[in-house]
Amino acid sequence: MVYRLKKALYGLKQAPRAWNKRIDGFLVKQGFSKCKSEYGVYVQKSTSSIILICLYVDDLLVTGSDIAKIEKFKTVMMTEFEMTDLGEISYFLGIEFLKTSKGLMLHQRKYAGEILKRFNMSDCTYAITPMETNLKLEKNESEDAVDPTMFKQIVGSLRYLCNSRPDICFAVGLISRFMEDPRQSHMKAAMRILRYIAGTLDFGILFPKSAVNAKSEIICYSDADWCGDKVDRRSTTGYFFKYLNASVAWCSRKQPVVALSSCEAEYIAGSYAACQALWINSVLKELKIDVKKPITLQIDNQSAINLAKNPVLHGRSKHIEARFHFLREQVNQGSLEVIHCAIGSQVADIMTKSLKVDRFLNLRNSLGVFQLRS
């Protein structure tokens, strides 16, 4: 279980850097190692136990394998610093945690309710999906303009909700592209997301209890929607990661270049996923966790897989920017293995396009987004 300690706010606002430097030095003296891959994470491991700390300004999250050592550490912290023991974590940075029989639920029900209330959508008609099937938004100056301030407020609010709701990432990312000059169709799409949130207010991510013999491996998927943007014909990258059957990372973003083929779009998406995979692996390594090697990346485009494995295909890839060949480099080094994934099993599909109801609901379950239950 994760425990939370919070420092008294007195004097912190005047000298947050001095506080961070002080507690950093204290933790190092206590035998903790500071992670290089993830700022604010500290590890203390012995032959029989491990303690992990996540530091964010005046908040500390503490977890580990030995309850007695955790309690001893909390006592030392409260002796050295003016801190409060808030017990098992239930709320942190606007994110709520609920302990259930199946595991730990991470959700933002309170925050989502505040969004709906703020934009007068608490009593709206629910939507089953966050976006209409095959919806393609574009700039349309013939449409009536809407209040840009309100539109930006909606988008900004939904952006933070994506921290616990990967099922809305693509929809929120799509409407984010039109904040400069929002029109009626864009506002309608934003309201559709709010209607979906209203119908799934008590949904969150489940971190299930791990089986004793569970494999320590990173499961990752990457996908792309070739030329999906109607405005500049750029593709959308989507990737999704799981570790011990828990969702740990996801992304939906427009690619910075125009891909000349679906193969190239998938290859670029795979490069972004490769960077994320190696970062997750480095974090787990610093947390003293052994992960199955090589990491397997699942892509549903065979041409992109061949391009990643075969450096001889120079004619098909010489125009691709060098930074995207990071995927091929990692495959050749043996750090990453790229395998084919059937389109029906491609979880990252939900990060790149609007889907039909059945397909969306199926993939939402694959993301680990479920209704809150005790």
Question: What is the signed CA dihedral for 184, 185, 188, 193, rounded to 10 degrees?
Answer: -140
**Do residues 339 and 175 touch, judged by C-beta distance below 8 A?**
no
Q: Kindly list the distances between the CA atom of residue 55 and the CA atoms of 7, 23, 207, 289, in Å, as whole numbers in the listed order.
A: 11, 9, 21, 20
Q: What is the pLDDT of residues 172-219, one digit of tens each?
A: 999 999 999 999 999 999 999 999 999 999 999 999 887 666 788 999
**Do residues 251 and 159 touch, judged by C-beta distance below 8 A?**
no
Q: What is the pLDDT of residues 115-165, one digit of tens each?
A: 999 999 999 999 999 999 988 898 888 899 999 999 999 999 999 999 999
Exposure of 58 in the CB half-sphere (CA atoms within 13 A): 17
Lowest mean pLDDT among 81-85, 301-305, 368-372: 81-85
Between CA 219 and CA 345 the distance in angstroms is 13
Residue 84 has pLDDT above 80, yes or no: yes
Residue 80 has pLDDT above 60, yes or no: yes
Residue 319 confidence class, pLDDT cut points 50, 70, 90: low
- What's the pLDDT score for residue 329? 87
Residue 16 confidence class, pLDDT cut points 50, 70, 90: low
- What's the pLDDT score for residue 77? 87
Over residues 302-313, mean pLDDT: 80
Go through the domains of the chain in sequence order and give each one's CATH number.
3-89 (3.30.160), 107-199 (no CATH), 213-369 (3.30.420.10)
Q: Is 184 strand, coil or helix?
A: helix
Between CA 133 and CA 80 the distance in angstroms is 57
Between CA 370 and CA 240 the distance in angstroms is 17
Q: Name 103's bridge partners.
A: 208
Lowest mean pLDDT among 15-24, 85-94, 270-279, 314-323: 314-323
As a whole number, the mean pLDDT across the chain is: 89
65-73 long-range contacts, CB within 8 A, separation 24+: 70/3, 73/30
Name 161's Cβ contacts closer than 8 Å, sequence gap at least 6: 108, 111, 112, 115, 168, 172, 197
Lowest mean pLDDT among 26-40, 256-270, 319-333, 354-368: 319-333
- Residue 38 token pair: 């993830």
Over residues 21-38, mean pLDDT: 88
Residue 11 has pLDDT above 60, yes or no: no
- Residue 10 token pair: 């007195």
**Do residues 255 and 237 touch, judged by C-beta distance below 8 A?**
yes
**Do residues 188 and 264 touch, judged by C-beta distance below 8 A?**
no
Higher local confidence (pLDDT), 40 or 113: 113
Closest C-alpha among 200, 133, 191 to residue 164? 200
Instruction: Report the range out of 16-20, 133-137, 311-315 with the highest average pLDDT.
Output: 133-137
